Protein backbone atom coordinates (compact mmCIF):
# COMPACT_ATOMS: atom_id res chain seq x y z
CA UNK A 1 0.00 0.00 0.00
CA UNK A 2 1.33 3.44 -0.97
CA UNK A 3 1.51 6.25 1.61
CA UNK A 4 -0.59 9.30 0.57
CA UNK A 5 1.89 11.61 2.32
CA UNK A 6 5.38 10.49 1.13
CA UNK A 7 4.47 7.96 -1.62
CA UNK A 8 6.48 5.16 0.12
CA UNK A 9 5.28 1.62 -0.62
CA UNK A 10 4.38 -0.25 2.60
CA UNK A 11 3.44 -3.86 3.31
CA UNK A 12 -0.25 -4.58 2.63
CA UNK A 13 -2.29 -4.24 5.83
CA UNK A 14 0.14 -1.77 7.47
CA UNK A 15 -1.59 0.82 9.68
CA UNK A 16 1.21 3.41 9.56
CA UNK A 17 3.79 4.36 6.92
CA UNK A 18 7.20 2.82 7.64
CA UNK A 19 8.90 5.94 6.22
CA UNK A 20 7.00 8.96 7.61
CA UNK A 21 4.62 7.47 10.21
CA UNK A 22 1.44 8.77 8.57
CA UNK A 23 -1.65 6.71 9.33
CA UNK A 24 -2.58 4.75 6.21
CA UNK A 25 -6.16 4.40 4.97
CA UNK A 26 -7.63 1.06 6.07
CA UNK A 27 -9.65 0.03 3.04
CA UNK A 28 -8.43 -3.60 2.87
CA UNK A 29 -8.73 -4.75 6.48
CA UNK A 30 -12.43 -3.79 6.96
CA UNK A 31 -13.36 -5.73 3.82
CA UNK A 32 -11.66 -8.81 5.22
CA UNK A 33 -13.34 -8.27 8.57
CA UNK A 34 -16.76 -8.07 6.89
CA UNK A 35 -16.18 -11.34 5.05
CA UNK A 36 -15.15 -13.10 8.23
CA UNK A 37 -18.08 -11.63 10.16
CA UNK A 38 -20.59 -12.60 7.46
CA UNK A 39 -19.89 -16.31 7.90
CA UNK A 40 -22.65 -17.80 10.10
CA UNK A 41 -21.41 -19.77 13.10
CA UNK A 42 -22.04 -23.48 12.85
CA UNK A 43 -23.67 -25.06 15.89
CA UNK A 44 -24.01 -28.55 14.40
CA UNK A 45 -21.14 -30.94 15.18
CA UNK A 46 -19.16 -32.31 12.27
CA UNK A 47 -19.98 -35.92 11.42
CA UNK A 48 -17.34 -38.56 12.25
CA UNK A 49 -15.57 -39.90 9.15
CA UNK A 50 -16.17 -43.59 8.53
CA UNK A 51 -13.51 -45.94 9.90
CA UNK A 52 -11.15 -47.30 7.28
CA UNK A 53 -9.36 -50.62 7.74
CA UNK A 54 -5.58 -50.58 7.45
CA UNK A 55 -5.54 -53.90 5.57
CA UNK A 56 -8.27 -54.62 3.05
CA UNK A 57 -10.36 -57.55 4.38
CA UNK A 58 -9.91 -59.66 1.23
CA UNK A 59 -6.11 -59.71 1.58
CA UNK A 60 -4.34 -61.99 4.06
CA UNK A 61 -2.12 -60.28 6.64
CA UNK A 62 1.58 -60.12 5.75
CA UNK A 63 3.67 -63.06 6.88
CA UNK A 64 6.68 -62.10 9.03
CA UNK A 65 10.11 -63.01 7.71
CA UNK A 66 11.01 -66.51 8.93
CA UNK A 67 14.66 -66.90 7.85
CA UNK A 68 17.87 -66.09 9.71
CA UNK A 69 18.15 -62.39 10.52
CA UNK A 70 19.69 -59.76 12.78
CA UNK A 71 17.65 -57.30 14.83
CA UNK A 72 19.12 -53.90 15.65
CA UNK A 73 18.56 -53.53 19.41
CA UNK A 74 17.97 -49.77 19.37
CA UNK A 75 15.35 -49.57 16.60
CA UNK A 76 14.12 -53.12 16.01
CA UNK A 77 15.23 -52.94 12.36
CA UNK A 78 15.53 -56.38 10.77
CA UNK A 79 18.42 -57.39 8.48
CA UNK A 80 17.90 -60.60 6.52
CA UNK A 81 20.81 -63.00 6.23
CA UNK A 82 21.59 -65.24 3.28
CA UNK A 83 24.60 -67.50 2.71
CA UNK A 84 27.00 -64.62 3.39
CA UNK A 85 26.57 -61.02 4.51
CA UNK A 86 29.34 -58.45 4.77
CA UNK A 87 28.51 -55.74 7.33
CA UNK A 88 29.95 -52.22 7.38
CA UNK A 89 29.23 -48.71 6.15
CA UNK A 90 29.64 -46.52 3.07
CA UNK A 91 30.45 -49.38 0.70
CA UNK A 92 28.12 -50.30 -2.19
CA UNK A 93 29.26 -53.94 -2.11
CA UNK A 94 27.92 -54.50 1.43
CA UNK A 95 24.91 -56.67 2.15
CA UNK A 96 24.23 -54.74 5.42
CA UNK A 97 25.21 -51.06 5.36
CA UNK A 98 24.87 -49.04 8.58
CA UNK A 99 25.63 -45.69 6.93
CA UNK A 100 23.17 -43.17 8.35
CA UNK A 101 22.44 -45.12 11.53
CA UNK A 102 23.22 -43.75 14.98
CA UNK A 103 26.78 -44.72 16.02
CA UNK A 104 27.64 -45.84 12.47
CA UNK A 105 30.91 -43.91 12.72
CA UNK A 106 32.17 -46.67 15.05
CA UNK A 107 31.75 -49.32 12.34
CA UNK A 108 34.52 -49.93 9.84
CA UNK A 109 33.78 -49.80 6.11
CA UNK A 110 34.08 -53.60 5.98
CA UNK A 111 33.66 -54.50 9.65
CA UNK A 112 32.53 -58.14 9.83
CA UNK A 113 30.84 -60.88 7.89
CA UNK A 114 28.29 -63.53 8.75
CA UNK A 115 28.41 -66.74 6.75
CA UNK A 116 26.40 -69.93 6.74
CA UNK A 117 28.42 -73.17 6.60
CA UNK A 118 26.97 -76.66 7.03
CA UNK A 119 23.67 -75.29 8.33
CA UNK A 120 25.30 -73.15 11.03
CA UNK A 121 26.00 -69.40 11.09
CA UNK A 122 29.38 -67.86 11.92
CA UNK A 123 30.47 -64.25 12.47
CA UNK A 124 34.00 -63.12 11.58
CA UNK A 125 35.78 -59.83 12.26
CA UNK A 126 37.34 -58.42 9.06
CA UNK A 127 40.03 -56.32 10.76
CA UNK A 128 37.72 -53.65 12.15
CA UNK A 129 39.00 -50.72 14.21
CA UNK A 130 36.42 -51.04 16.99
CA UNK A 131 36.22 -54.83 17.06
CA UNK A 132 33.44 -57.40 16.88
CA UNK A 133 32.01 -59.03 20.01
CA UNK A 134 29.72 -62.03 20.46
CA UNK A 135 28.01 -62.04 23.86
CA UNK A 136 30.65 -59.54 25.08
CA UNK A 137 33.56 -61.76 23.98
CA UNK A 138 35.96 -59.95 21.63
CA UNK A 139 36.77 -61.80 18.41
CA UNK A 140 40.27 -61.89 16.98
CA UNK A 141 40.64 -60.70 13.39
CA UNK A 142 39.76 -63.57 11.05
CA UNK A 143 38.26 -65.67 13.86
CA UNK A 144 34.97 -67.29 12.75
CA UNK A 145 32.78 -67.66 15.83
CA UNK A 146 29.60 -69.80 15.67
CA UNK A 147 26.44 -67.92 16.62
CA UNK A 148 23.15 -69.27 17.90
CA UNK A 149 19.61 -68.05 18.50
CA UNK A 150 19.60 -64.96 20.73
CA UNK A 151 23.35 -64.27 20.61
CA UNK A 152 24.23 -60.58 20.87
CA UNK A 153 26.66 -59.32 18.23
CA UNK A 154 28.26 -55.94 18.87
CA UNK A 155 30.03 -54.06 16.09
CA UNK A 156 31.68 -50.98 17.58
CA UNK A 157 28.73 -49.41 19.42
CA UNK A 158 25.98 -51.09 17.38
CA UNK A 159 24.29 -54.07 19.00
CA UNK A 160 22.42 -56.73 17.03
CA UNK A 161 20.59 -59.88 18.12
CA UNK A 162 20.87 -62.99 15.94
CA UNK A 163 17.72 -65.03 15.19
CA UNK A 164 17.68 -68.24 13.17
CA UNK A 165 13.92 -68.05 12.49
| 14 shares a domain with 81 | no
> Is pLDDT of 10 > 60?
yes
Domain assignment present for 51? no
Residue 107 lies in a domain: yes
Based on the fold, state whether residues 142 and 96 are members of the same structural domain: yes
* Sign, CA torsion 90/95/101/105: negative
DSSP line for 47-76: PPPPP--SS-TTSPPPPPP-S-EEEETTT-
Q: Looking at residue 27, what is its pLDDT?
A: 59
Asked if residue 124 lies in contact with residue 116, where contact means CB atoms within 8 angstroms, the answer is no
Q: Please check whether residue 148 is in contact with residue 119, taking contact to mean a CB–CB distance below 8 angstroms.
A: no
Q: How many domains does the chain have?
A: 2
> What confidence category does residue 55 fall into, taking pLDDT thresholds of 50, 70 and 90?
low
**129 vs 51 pLDDT, higher one:** 129
The pTM for the full model equals 0.61
Mean pLDDT over 79-88 rounds to: 95
What is the domain-level CATH number for residue 110? 2.60.200.20
24, 97: one domain: no
Q: Which domain holds residue 34?
A: 1-38
14 confidence band (pLDDT: 50, 70, 90): confident
Q: Please check whether residues 34 and 77 belong to one and the same domain.
A: no
Mean pLDDT value of segment 128-156: 96
Query: Which pLDDT score is estimated for 44?
Result: 74
pLDDT at 38: 53
Amino acid sequence: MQCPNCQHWNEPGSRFCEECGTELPMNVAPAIARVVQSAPPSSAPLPEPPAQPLIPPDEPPPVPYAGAHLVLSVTGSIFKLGQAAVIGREDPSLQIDFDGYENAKYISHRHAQIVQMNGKYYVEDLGSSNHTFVNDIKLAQGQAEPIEEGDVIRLGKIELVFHEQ
